[in-house]
Amino acid sequence: MKLIDSHAHLDDRAFDRDRAALIASAFAKELGIITIGGDLRSSREAVRVAERHWRIWATVGAHPHGAKSVGPETIEAFEELAARDVVVAIGEIGLDYYRDLSPRDVQREVFREQLELARRLDLPICLHNRESTDDLLAILRDAESAHRGVVHSFLGDAELAETFLDLGLHLGIGGPLTYPKNGALRAAVTQVPMDRLLIETDCPYLTPVPYRGRRNEPAYVRYVAEEIAQLKGISVDEVAERTTANAVRLFGLSP
Protein backbone atom coordinates (compact mmCIF):
# COMPACT_ATOMS: atom_id res chain seq x y z
CA MET A 1 0.00 0.00 0.00
CA LYS A 2 1.35 3.41 -0.96
CA LEU A 3 -1.21 5.47 0.97
CA ILE A 4 -3.89 4.75 3.55
CA ASP A 5 -7.05 6.80 3.78
CA SER A 6 -7.53 6.43 7.51
CA HIS A 7 -11.07 7.83 7.62
CA ALA A 8 -13.64 7.22 4.88
CA HIS A 9 -17.39 6.67 4.86
CA LEU A 10 -17.81 4.11 2.10
CA ASP A 11 -21.35 3.33 3.23
CA ASP A 12 -22.52 6.87 2.48
CA ARG A 13 -25.38 7.19 0.01
CA ALA A 14 -23.19 9.49 -2.10
CA PHE A 15 -21.43 6.33 -3.28
CA ASP A 16 -24.51 4.22 -3.96
CA ARG A 17 -24.25 4.50 -7.74
CA ASP A 18 -20.55 3.76 -8.16
CA ARG A 19 -19.19 2.30 -4.92
CA ALA A 20 -17.61 -0.73 -6.59
CA ALA A 21 -15.92 1.39 -9.24
CA LEU A 22 -14.64 3.82 -6.63
CA ILE A 23 -13.13 1.01 -4.57
CA ALA A 24 -11.56 -0.50 -7.69
CA SER A 25 -10.05 2.89 -8.55
CA ALA A 26 -8.58 3.17 -5.06
CA PHE A 27 -7.04 -0.28 -5.31
CA ALA A 28 -5.56 0.56 -8.71
CA LYS A 29 -3.75 3.43 -6.98
CA GLU A 30 -2.51 1.03 -4.26
CA LEU A 31 -4.58 2.63 -1.51
CA GLY A 32 -5.71 1.10 1.74
CA ILE A 33 -8.91 2.38 3.33
CA ILE A 34 -10.41 2.40 6.81
CA THR A 35 -14.17 2.80 6.53
CA ILE A 36 -15.82 4.28 9.57
CA GLY A 37 -18.89 3.30 11.55
CA GLY A 38 -21.10 6.06 12.91
CA ASP A 39 -24.03 4.07 14.26
CA LEU A 40 -25.03 0.43 14.42
CA ARG A 41 -26.25 0.30 10.81
CA SER A 42 -23.16 1.94 9.32
CA SER A 43 -20.88 -0.10 11.57
CA ARG A 44 -22.41 -3.31 10.25
CA GLU A 45 -22.07 -2.02 6.71
CA ALA A 46 -18.44 -1.03 7.30
CA VAL A 47 -17.68 -4.55 8.49
CA ARG A 48 -19.50 -6.04 5.51
CA VAL A 49 -17.52 -3.94 3.02
CA ALA A 50 -14.22 -4.63 4.79
CA GLU A 51 -14.81 -8.39 4.83
CA ARG A 52 -15.26 -8.34 1.05
CA HIS A 53 -12.05 -6.41 0.23
CA TRP A 54 -8.59 -7.28 1.46
CA ARG A 55 -7.24 -3.69 1.68
CA ILE A 56 -10.22 -2.25 3.56
CA TRP A 57 -10.69 -2.30 7.33
CA ALA A 58 -13.54 -1.08 9.52
CA THR A 59 -14.30 0.72 12.75
CA VAL A 60 -17.47 0.38 14.81
CA GLY A 61 -19.06 2.94 17.08
CA ALA A 62 -21.63 5.67 17.59
CA HIS A 63 -21.08 9.22 16.36
CA PRO A 64 -22.16 11.82 18.93
CA HIS A 65 -25.02 12.91 16.68
CA GLY A 66 -26.78 9.63 17.40
CA ALA A 67 -25.86 9.29 21.07
CA LYS A 68 -29.48 9.64 22.16
CA SER A 69 -30.27 6.35 20.39
CA VAL A 70 -27.49 4.35 22.07
CA GLY A 71 -28.43 1.91 24.81
CA PRO A 72 -26.74 -1.07 26.50
CA GLU A 73 -27.80 -3.34 23.64
CA THR A 74 -26.04 -1.03 21.16
CA ILE A 75 -22.78 -1.24 23.07
CA GLU A 76 -23.16 -5.02 23.20
CA ALA A 77 -23.68 -5.12 19.44
CA PHE A 78 -20.55 -3.02 18.89
CA GLU A 79 -18.60 -5.43 21.07
CA GLU A 80 -19.80 -8.39 19.02
CA LEU A 81 -18.87 -6.64 15.76
CA ALA A 82 -15.47 -5.67 17.15
CA ALA A 83 -14.57 -9.36 17.41
CA ARG A 84 -14.34 -9.51 13.60
CA ASP A 85 -10.79 -9.54 12.26
CA VAL A 86 -11.42 -6.54 10.01
CA VAL A 87 -12.39 -4.22 12.88
CA VAL A 88 -9.39 -2.13 13.91
CA ALA A 89 -10.82 0.63 16.15
CA ILE A 90 -13.78 1.98 18.07
CA GLY A 91 -15.11 5.05 16.33
CA GLU A 92 -16.23 7.50 15.27
CA ILE A 93 -16.82 8.55 18.87
CA GLY A 94 -16.61 11.83 20.70
CA LEU A 95 -18.56 15.06 21.13
CA ASP A 96 -20.25 17.53 18.77
CA TYR A 97 -21.56 20.77 20.24
CA TYR A 98 -21.96 22.43 16.84
CA ARG A 99 -25.16 20.72 15.80
CA ASP A 100 -26.23 19.36 19.18
CA LEU A 101 -28.26 16.58 17.57
CA SER A 102 -28.10 14.69 20.87
CA PRO A 103 -28.20 16.28 24.34
CA ARG A 104 -24.72 17.14 25.55
CA ASP A 105 -24.97 15.15 28.77
CA VAL A 106 -26.01 12.09 26.75
CA GLN A 107 -23.13 12.63 24.33
CA ARG A 108 -20.68 12.69 27.22
CA GLU A 109 -22.06 9.52 28.79
CA VAL A 110 -22.05 7.57 25.53
CA PHE A 111 -18.52 8.80 24.82
CA ARG A 112 -17.35 7.49 28.20
CA GLU A 113 -19.04 4.14 27.58
CA GLN A 114 -17.30 3.75 24.23
CA LEU A 115 -13.93 4.74 25.66
CA GLU A 116 -14.41 1.98 28.20
CA LEU A 117 -15.34 -0.44 25.41
CA ALA A 118 -12.14 0.41 23.55
CA ARG A 119 -10.11 -0.05 26.74
CA ARG A 120 -11.74 -3.39 27.47
CA LEU A 121 -11.13 -4.65 23.92
CA ASP A 122 -7.64 -3.11 23.68
CA LEU A 123 -8.57 -1.23 20.49
CA PRO A 124 -7.56 2.28 19.44
CA ILE A 125 -10.14 5.05 19.20
CA CYS A 126 -11.19 7.37 16.39
CA LEU A 127 -12.24 10.70 17.88
CA HIS A 128 -14.74 13.29 16.65
CA ASN A 129 -14.48 16.77 18.17
CA ARG A 130 -16.46 19.79 17.04
CA GLU A 131 -16.71 22.86 19.26
CA SER A 132 -16.41 20.56 22.29
CA THR A 133 -12.69 20.56 23.01
CA ASP A 134 -12.80 21.39 26.73
CA ASP A 135 -15.27 18.63 27.60
CA LEU A 136 -13.58 16.14 25.28
CA LEU A 137 -10.22 16.75 26.92
CA ALA A 138 -11.70 16.53 30.40
CA ILE A 139 -13.20 13.13 29.66
CA LEU A 140 -10.00 11.86 28.07
CA ARG A 141 -7.96 13.03 31.05
CA ASP A 142 -10.38 11.43 33.52
CA ALA A 143 -10.07 8.01 31.87
CA GLU A 144 -8.35 5.31 33.86
CA SER A 145 -5.84 4.37 31.17
CA ALA A 146 -3.72 5.96 28.47
CA HIS A 147 -5.19 6.46 25.03
CA ARG A 148 -4.30 5.03 21.63
CA GLY A 149 -5.99 6.50 18.64
CA VAL A 150 -6.46 9.41 16.30
CA VAL A 151 -8.16 12.79 16.47
CA HIS A 152 -10.10 12.62 13.23
CA SER A 153 -10.10 15.74 11.01
CA PHE A 154 -7.87 17.73 13.31
CA LEU A 155 -8.43 21.45 12.67
CA GLY A 156 -6.72 23.10 15.63
CA ASP A 157 -3.59 25.14 16.13
CA ALA A 158 -0.13 24.09 17.29
CA GLU A 159 -1.03 24.38 20.98
CA LEU A 160 -4.03 22.09 20.67
CA ALA A 161 -2.01 19.68 18.55
CA GLU A 162 0.56 19.42 21.33
CA THR A 163 -2.19 18.82 23.88
CA PHE A 164 -3.54 15.85 21.95
CA LEU A 165 -0.05 14.50 21.28
CA ASP A 166 0.68 14.62 25.02
CA LEU A 167 -2.35 12.37 25.54
CA GLY A 168 -0.76 9.77 23.27
CA LEU A 169 -2.96 10.45 20.27
CA HIS A 170 -2.26 10.79 16.56
CA LEU A 171 -3.69 13.56 14.40
CA GLY A 172 -5.76 12.80 11.32
CA ILE A 173 -5.20 15.41 8.61
CA GLY A 174 -7.58 15.81 5.69
CA GLY A 175 -8.72 18.10 2.91
CA PRO A 176 -9.05 21.28 5.03
CA LEU A 177 -5.25 21.43 5.15
CA THR A 178 -5.40 22.52 1.51
CA TYR A 179 -7.90 25.36 2.11
CA PRO A 180 -6.36 28.85 1.82
CA LYS A 181 -7.72 30.19 5.13
CA ASN A 182 -6.37 27.38 7.31
CA GLY A 183 -3.00 28.92 8.07
CA ALA A 184 -3.09 27.93 11.75
CA LEU A 185 -3.63 24.29 10.80
CA ARG A 186 -0.75 24.36 8.34
CA ALA A 187 1.49 25.93 10.97
CA ALA A 188 0.50 23.18 13.41
CA VAL A 189 1.23 20.41 10.92
CA THR A 190 4.75 21.74 10.37
CA GLN A 191 5.39 21.18 14.09
CA VAL A 192 3.83 17.72 14.47
CA PRO A 193 6.33 14.84 14.27
CA MET A 194 5.83 12.69 11.19
CA ASP A 195 5.35 9.58 13.33
CA ARG A 196 2.14 11.06 14.79
CA LEU A 197 0.39 12.02 11.55
CA LEU A 198 -2.27 10.10 9.65
CA ILE A 199 -3.92 11.24 6.43
CA GLU A 200 -7.60 10.92 5.62
CA THR A 201 -10.38 12.12 3.35
CA ASP A 202 -13.56 11.88 5.47
CA CYS A 203 -15.10 11.18 2.08
CA PRO A 204 -17.58 12.07 0.71
CA TYR A 205 -17.00 15.23 2.79
CA LEU A 206 -14.17 17.79 3.12
CA THR A 207 -12.88 17.47 -0.42
CA PRO A 208 -9.37 18.90 -0.87
CA VAL A 209 -8.26 21.50 -3.37
CA PRO A 210 -8.38 21.21 -6.42
CA TYR A 211 -11.71 19.33 -6.17
CA ARG A 212 -13.24 21.31 -3.32
CA GLY A 213 -16.99 21.57 -3.76
CA ARG A 214 -17.28 18.14 -5.36
CA ARG A 215 -17.74 14.73 -3.81
CA ASN A 216 -14.64 13.52 -2.01
CA GLU A 217 -13.23 10.02 -2.51
CA PRO A 218 -10.33 7.94 -1.16
CA ALA A 219 -8.05 8.60 -4.14
CA TYR A 220 -7.99 12.29 -3.22
CA VAL A 221 -5.97 11.51 -0.10
CA ARG A 222 -2.95 12.09 -2.31
CA TYR A 223 -3.61 15.83 -2.30
CA VAL A 224 -3.37 15.84 1.47
CA ALA A 225 -0.06 13.99 1.25
CA GLU A 226 1.22 16.51 -1.27
CA GLU A 227 0.32 19.44 0.99
CA ILE A 228 2.08 17.83 3.96
CA ALA A 229 5.14 17.17 1.81
CA GLN A 230 5.30 20.82 0.82
CA LEU A 231 4.90 22.01 4.42
CA LYS A 232 7.51 19.58 5.74
CA GLY A 233 9.96 20.04 2.88
CA ILE A 234 10.06 16.32 2.12
CA SER A 235 8.92 14.15 -0.78
CA VAL A 236 5.40 12.86 -1.27
CA ASP A 237 6.86 9.35 -1.26
CA GLU A 238 8.27 9.92 2.22
CA VAL A 239 4.93 11.25 3.47
CA ALA A 240 3.22 8.19 2.01
CA GLU A 241 5.73 5.80 3.55
CA ARG A 242 5.65 7.41 6.99
CA THR A 243 1.87 7.90 7.28
CA THR A 244 1.17 4.41 5.99
CA ALA A 245 3.58 2.97 8.55
CA ASN A 246 1.85 5.02 11.26
CA ALA A 247 -1.56 3.65 10.31
CA VAL A 248 -0.31 0.07 10.13
CA ARG A 249 1.28 0.39 13.55
CA LEU A 250 -1.59 2.22 15.27
CA PHE A 251 -4.40 0.03 13.93
CA GLY A 252 -2.48 -3.24 13.66
CA LEU A 253 -3.36 -3.53 9.98
CA SER A 254 -2.77 -6.72 8.06
CA PRO A 255 -4.42 -8.00 4.86
pLDDT at residue 145 in the model:
78
pLDDT at residue 255 in the model:
60
pLDDT at residue 15 in the model:
97
Q: What is the mean pLDDT of each run of 10 residues along the chain (255 residues)?
A: 94 96 94 98 97 96 98 98 98 97 98 97 98 98 90 98 97 98 97 98 98 97 98 98 98 86
State pLDDT tens for residues 118-137: 999 999 999 999 999 999 99
State pLDDT tens for residues 166-199: 999 999 999 999 999 999 999 999 999 999 999 9
* Alpha helix segments (H runs only) across the chain: 19-28, 40-52, 72-82, 104-121, 133-142, 158-166, 183-191, 221-232, 236-251
DSSP state of 70: -
Q: What is d(CA 151, CA 231) in angstroms, rounded to the nearest whole number?
A: 20
3-251 CATH pick, 3.40.50.720, 3.20.20.140, 3.30.200.20, 2.60.40.10 = 3.20.20.140
pLDDT at residue 197 in the model:
98
The number of beta carbons lying within 10 Å of the beta carbon of residue 195 is 11
Domain assignments of the chain as residue spans, ordered by start: 3-251
Q: What is d(CA 102, CA 96) in angstroms, rounded to the nearest whole number?
A: 9
User: Of the candidates 198, 201, 173, 207, which has an alpha carbon nearest to the alpha carbon of residue 187?
Assistant: 173
pTM score of the predicted model: 0.97
